[in-house]
Amino acid sequence: MATSDVLGRFDRLDAIGSGSFGLVYRARDRRSGEIVAMKYILSYRNSSDDVVDPSDFDREVTALEACSGHRSIVQLHAHGRCKYFGEDVLVMEFVGPTLRQVMRRERRGRSLRSELEVRLLMRQLLAGARWMHRRGFMHRDLKPENILMDARGNLKICDLGLAHSTAEPPPYASNVGTLHYRAPEVLLGSTDYNELIDSWALGCIMAELLSGKNPFNGTTNVDQLTEIIDILGANDIKEWIGYNGQWLPTGCPGPGSFLRCLFPCPAEADITYRTPLSEAGFEVLSGLLRCNPEKRLSPAQALRHRWFKVSDSASLRHRRR
């Protein structure tokens, strides 16, 4: 669909987001009256003023179309391009604020989500990621800013601009994703990683949902890797078949992980003043946050874990009390 056709079908309302890609507006479908989100993606030009290869836009359209039909992934309604005006437009379902925005509001209110609430949210995110992986794509940039939440607490994964088909063999681009959610193998420069980099990011998001902050907050790749190893130890990454003796930060602790100290069992939480997490919940968290991707839980494996045997309805009943 030409961009002019897309623009003619929707009435643009107010701006609701922005980024390096461009702007996102709330809009109304003139045919149905439905409120949608319109994402305007900037087109970059080379020195001869010709439009540069629009692979990012094409990649996002392809990924959204391939992953359509799942309730935990934002749905694409229409898209278009106008090569003369530098406008690429995606029209998607309107959901609500980002998970990051919701979490910031919660921090201001000094409230943290219960383990049951986190389980409900993680079930949705893992199911969305599992669907993407089954459809042959890895997201490569999962983070709270790329997750939307509606008024009922339902989550939807969005911003698939860095998504990549797993049908295409490596090497893949290195240094992908946002630093605080970047998997150790990517920090070490791997270009033959797989969809399990999404599992790592989901583990970081789970930790952040529980405690209100990401446990790994480096400012560079080296700093980020240092923070990871300071908590999880170095042995796990050294057991990875892709580890070829690459340099690791100095001053690392022993082989053991200190992650359980950050998320103690409920009986010890009152003593340590840290976020409580059941044994089953910790098994999921630590399984997602394995430095060795060969031992890391996939979304499908995580969803089969006993932590998720409690139904959504039971979790919701607990939330309403």
Q: Which two tokens stand for residue 296?
A: 């890391």
pLDDT for 179 equals: 97
Cα 273 to Cα 54, 209, 264, 265, 266: the distances in Å are: 50, 17, 9, 11, 10
- Identify the active-site residue in 29, 53, 56, 141: 141
pLDDT at 315 over 50: no
Retrieve residue 165's tokens: 């088909």
pLDDT tens digits for range 17-46: 877 667 899 999 999 999 999 998 876 544
CB neighbourhood size of 181 (10 A): 26
- CATH superfamily of the domain spanning 3-93: Phosphorylase Kinase; domain 1 (3.30.200.20)
Section 49-63 average pLDDT: 70
The residue to which tokens 């959504």 are assigned: 312
First to last CA, the chain: 48
Neighbours of 316 (CB within 10 A): 14
Q: To the nearest whole percent, how much of the chain has pLDDT over 90?
A: 65
Considering the chain, tell me which residue range(s) the CATH 3.30.200.20 domain(s) occupy.
3-93
Mean pLDDT of 137-144: 98
Alpha-carbon Rg for the chain in angstroms? 21
Q: Looking at the predicted structure, is the pLDDT value of residue 313 above 70?
A: no
Integer Cα distance of 125 and 194 in angstroms? 18
pLDDT at 246: 81
The answer to whether 39 is a known ligand-binding residue is: yes
Every domain range in the chain assigned CATH 1.10.510.10: 99-320
Structure tokens at 207: 């930790």
**Predicted TM-score (pTM) of this structure:** 0.90
Torsion angle defined by CA atoms of residues 172, 173, 177 and 182, in that order, rounded to the nearest 10 degrees: 70
Please identify which residue in the block is written with the tokens 């623009």. 7
The per-residue pLDDT for range 203-236, each reduced to its tens digit, is 999 999 999 999 999 999 999 999 999 999 888 9
Topology of the domain covering 99-320: Transferase(Phosphotransferase); domain 1 (1.10.510)
Secondary structure tally for the chain: helices H, strands E: 13, 9
For 245-287, the pLDDT digits (tens) are 887 876 555 556 899 999 999 887 777 667 889 999 999 999 9
Dist CA 285 CA 300 (whole Å): 14
Buried b (16+ CB within 10 A) or exposed e, 207-240: bbbbbbeebbebeebeebbbbbbbbbbbebbeeb
Is residue 230 flagged as an active site residue? no
Backbone angles phi, psi at 288, to 5 degrees: -75, -35
Residue 57 has which token pair?
Answer: 């836009």
pLDDT tens readout for residues 171-211: 999 989 999 999 999 999 999 999 999 999 999 999 999 99
